[in-house]
Structure 1
Amino acid sequence: MTVKAILRETDRRIAYRVAAWDPPCARCAMPAVGRAARHGKVWCFSAALMAGLGGRRGRTAAWAGLSAVGVAQVAAGVAVKPLTDRPRPPPRWVPRDIGERPGSSSFPSGHTAAAVAFAAAVGRTWPTMGAACALPAAMVALERVHSGSHYPSDVAAGAVIGLAAARLVHGLPPLRTPPSTGGRGAARTACCLSGLNPGRRAMSA
């Protein structure tokens, strides 16, 4: 068996075991995590809190985080997914109702790319908040495999894209939030620019 075949089989085995993991705590927590990550709601909410309560540093962190999410979504959903045609994990692996799944390629995970991009970009501006955002980002990554939507390699690729997006955003000229918009206004503006308006349909991930 080649190394590539071994890695593919390991990827499938891990995906199967995580998707089949079904204790009561996971049945309650994982769907909630998935709903929070859908349409970027959790990142918009976090950005609004930081922008509203964190002063200038909070506004800068919120703007950077949501800008990185926008870059990550474009990279994962527009640039990479169309180039791959990887099927999602088999629904029979998930011993519970998972509802309708995205019809796009499984590779990479756009939700994970957005989660990691937000946490990493915020962390570069406000390390304490970046560390706080790392936990929900990790939960989103786990949920994508647990829900049967992705393989671990999809999630890993999404994380790499998210880190690259955060680095790219911080490599650009300093981001400035319009002083007249205030904290929540700045976060709302960044949400719109990054395509994370919860009222709009987000790209499938």
Structure 2
Amino acid sequence: MTTTPDIDLTTGPPGPHPLRSRFLTADSRLFEAVASRHWPGGDRFLPKLSHSANHGLLWFATAAALAATRTPHARRAAARGLASLSLASATINTVGKRTVRRPRPSLAPVPQARRLKRQPITTSFPSGHSASAAAFATGVALESHGWGAAVAPLATAVALSRVYTGAHFPSDVLAGAALGAAAAFAVRRLLPEHGRH
């Protein structure tokens, strides 16, 4: 199972609009507040965590760890998480980033130590990493509340890392997470659990 590769859709900002301008200003201020604040251990941990989630690798590894428990419930949770991730990734990269062609935030307020070594070249909205994280965690949780609770902090940290490292605006992350969760519910509807409606 593979995720859809990134598509280069870099483009300029959209034209002026009063409501959009106010929203983007608030979003930018929140981004600067998060990106410029020092969190103990964050500079060393979050960039590495963000990088580990590239192309869903972190979630494939997590699914393998769940499957290694050799319990049917954990294996079903891992499979549902990966199915949800695949749907979210395909949707975000083929539809989401083509619809809202938002440029990435400026790295000016982000300390050099926490910037990603390789900057993304795709458009910013929505966050694919956040979508994948939320899709996997939600998919796992829909199958197993216990395993979902264990995975949720990791998914949250990945989403946070995208703002902390300067890769995304907060609204990119929130929209990506919402779309990822929606993908997990869509997978549950398409592939309901055995014995459940």
Q: How far 1:35 sits from its partner (Å)?
A: 2.5
Q: 1:160 and 2:178 equivalent?
A: yes
Q: 1:139 and 2:162 equivalent?
A: no
- Give CA deviations for 1:128-183 in whole Å, capped at 9, x if unaligned: 1101111011101110001111000100110111111100110013479xxxxxxx
Normalization by structure 1: what TM-score? Answer: 0.80
Match of 2:189 in 1: 171
Contact 1:113 1:161 in 2 (8 A): yes
RMSD (Å), alpha carbons: 1.9
Write the mapping of 1:49-68 to structure 2, written as runs, cut at 5 A.
49-68=65-84
From 70, 74, 86, the equivalent of 1:70 is 86
Identity score, percent = 37
Q: How many residues align?
A: 176
Rounded Cα–Cα distance in structure 2 between residues aligned with 1:26 and 1:173: 38
Write the mapping of 1:97-108 to structure 2, written as runs, cut at 5 A.
97=113, 98=115, 99-108=117-126
Unaligned runs of 5+ in 2: 1-16
Contact 2:74 2:147 in 1 (8 A): no
Rounded Cα–Cα distance in structure 2 between residues aligned with 1:79 and 1:3: 24
Q: How far 1:93 sits from its partner (Å)?
A: 1.9
Unaligned runs of 5+ in 1: 177-205
Which amino acid is 2:118 matched to?
E
Rounded Cα–Cα distance in structure 1 between residues aligned with 2:37 and 2:70: 38
Say which SS state the counterpart of residue 108 (structure 2) adopts: helix
Q: Could you tell which deviates more after superposition, 26-35 or 105-114?
A: 26-35
Match of 2:57 in 1: 41
Which amino acid is 2:45 matched to?
A
Rounded Cα–Cα distance in structure 2 between residues aligned with 1:158 and 1:8: 17
Higher helix share: 1
Contact 2:53 2:158 in 1 (8 A): yes
Normalization by structure 2: what TM-score? Answer: 0.83
Match of 1:182 in 2: none
Q: 1:90 and 2:112 equivalent?
A: no
Rounded Cα–Cα distance in structure 2 between residues aligned with 1:69 and 1:166: 8
Say which SS state the counterpart of residue 91 (structure 1) adopts: coil
Contact 2:52 2:58 in 1 (8 A): yes
Q: 1:81 and 2:93 equivalent?
A: no
